[in-house]
Amino acid sequence: MGISLGILTDNKRLNLLPFDFSCWNGTKSGAAIISEYTVDESKFSLNILAHDILFFQVELGTFNSIVSSFVKGPRANEKRDHRKSENHFLVNQIDYPTVRTIIRDYTRSLFQFRWNKKDMEARMCEQENVMQCSQFVLKLVLYCMDMKILQVTFENRHKIKSLVFQGTALHPHTLFTTLKTMNFCYHFSQQCKVTLDEKTLTVRKMCIDSPENVLDVPAVRVWEYFNLQKNK
């Protein structure tokens, strides 16, 4: 699964930034290009088709800080401070977990019957530098909850936080079914229209065909994209 940014227009159309900032197997996290899916039998490439979209609305200030976090890489000599993990959420250049780590986390999650805040903080520290796609999204949701950007009931908060214990074994479908039931998240159906690089597509016509090609996208490029969209 992936994360991107967009503007929802009045006619329920989504202007989507043509970059996905997720973590892909075999690369560090970063921006991969979302494009229109065109079947080309002669091209032997990895095409990953979009299937569903969930989204939630944020204020402009939050939107800008999330843009900055996606595009900003960790400084070479800067060690991340785990104690401050609640005050920042994610940056690019995060490693993808190994298969062994995923299996280990899956096994551990089977035996996690109960947990407290301290357990959760400890587990989140472990997950600071190695993440797969669902964890990446989960971390963003947790950040928005902690910063009071999202208003979440106690029960839903507990439901979301308990997913931390699945670690790298958190399956995108588990996250999808959890987020879909939350009152802050909206489902963009497969028939809804998405504007991607000036083309109008349905959700299912979008794909990532080179997830291994991660780009460095400067924040100014993201803002320029949305400014251009706004002026059309």
The residue ranges that bind other proteins (CB under 8 A) are: 1-9, 14, 16, 20, 25-27, 34, 43-60, 62-64, 66-67, 95, 97-101, 129-130, 137, 140, 144, 172-173, 176, 179, 188, 206-208, 212, 218-220, 223, 226-227, 230
Least gap, CB of 172 to other proteins (angstroms): 6
Q: Which is nearer to other proteins, 116 or 207 (CB)?
A: 207
Instruction: Give the contacts of 126 (CB within 8 A, at least 6 positions apart).
Output: 167
Contact in structure between 132 and 27 (CB atoms under 8 Å)? no
| Closest separation in Å from C-beta 115 to other proteins | 22
Any idea which residue has 């790298």 for tokens? 168
What minimum distance in Å lies between the beta carbon of 7 and other proteins? 5
Least distance (Å) from other proteins to the CB of residue 218? Answer: 7
Q: Which is nearer to other proteins, 164 or 206 (CB)?
A: 206
Phi and psi at residue 158, to the nearest 5°: -65, -40
Element (H, E) at 36: strand 35-36
Nearer to other proteins, 158 or 230 (CB): 230
Minimum CB–partner distance for residue 50 and other proteins (Å): 5
Nearer to other proteins, 27 or 112 (CB): 27
The CA radius of gyration of the chain, in Å to the nearest whole number, is 18
Strands 199-202 and 193-196, bridge-based pairing: antiparallel
List of residues 6+ apart from 206 with CB closer than 8 A? 16, 34, 35, 36, 37, 49, 50, 194, 196
CB of 159 to other proteins, least distance (A): 16
Q: Are 161 and 127 in contact (CB under 8 A)?
A: no
Q: Which is nearer to other proteins, 9 or 183 (CB)?
A: 9
Contact, 130 vs 97, CB < 8 A? yes
- Minimum CB distance to other proteins smaller for 1 or for 31: 1
